[in-house]
């Protein structure tokens, strides 16, 4: 496994080992020491979601005491994955990072606790796979506005590059507040 730093503190791109030939490939999943190296305590859930081209999900988080870290990958299709550091005591607070995730590029993203997470599907039937380190608690779900101008994610450039004319969002995500009005407070290491 290769762990690559991003511009956000504690957030990493992961390139798992891959072995194969003309018949296909095999990629061993994480083992204990790999999780330890990331600071990922345990796997509590494995989730999967499917989205059509142009669907934007996010920017989501889960509040304490059920805050979650995630390891995400695309196992079918293609997506731009986006994270925002919303830990108030972090030197990268309010900054964002994005990455193209596909089955072929063999990349995953480690999303630490205290980050907002989202993505845009670039193809129909894009399937995300998530490893999550804490229980799902719908009463603690939260989020920030996906296109918060203070954060400045380059959604328009992404949409133009991939031929998305109208992003498809849930009503809940359209009506979220910007980060500056977020009442939930996160700190590093929590």
Q: Which positions are catalytic? A: 60, 130
Let me know: does 96 contact 155? Beta carbons within 8 Å.
no
Strand residue runs (E) in 11-69: 12-15, 19-21, 24-26, 45-51, 56-62
Q: Based on the number of CB atoms within 10 Å of its own CB, is 17 exposed (0-12), middle (13-18) or buried (19 or more)?
A: exposed
């Amino acid at each position: 496994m290769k762990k690559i730093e991003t511009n956000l503190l504690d957030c990493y791109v992961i390139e798992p080992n891959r072995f194969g030939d003309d018949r296909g490939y095999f990629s061993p999943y994480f083992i204990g020491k790999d999780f330890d190296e990331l600071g990922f305590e345990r796997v509590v859930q494995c989730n999967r979601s499917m989205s059509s081209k142009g669907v934007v999900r996010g920017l989501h988080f889960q509040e304490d005491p059920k805050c979650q870290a995630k390891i995400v990958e695309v196992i079918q299709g293609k997506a731009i994955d986006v994270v925002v550091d919303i830990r108030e005591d972090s030197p990268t607070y309010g900054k964002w990072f994005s990455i193209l995730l596909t089955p072929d590029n063999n990349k995953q993203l480690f999303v630490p606790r205290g980050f907002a997470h989202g993505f845009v599907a670039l193809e129909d039937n894009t399937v995300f796979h998530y490893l999550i380190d804490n229980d799902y608690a719908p009463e603690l779900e939260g989020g920030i506005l996906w296109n918060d101008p203070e954060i400045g994610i380059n959604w328009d450039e992404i949409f133009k590059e991939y031929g998305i004319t109208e992003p498809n969002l849930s009503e809940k995500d359209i009506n979220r507040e910007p980060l500056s009005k977020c009442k939930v407070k996160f700190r590093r290491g929590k």
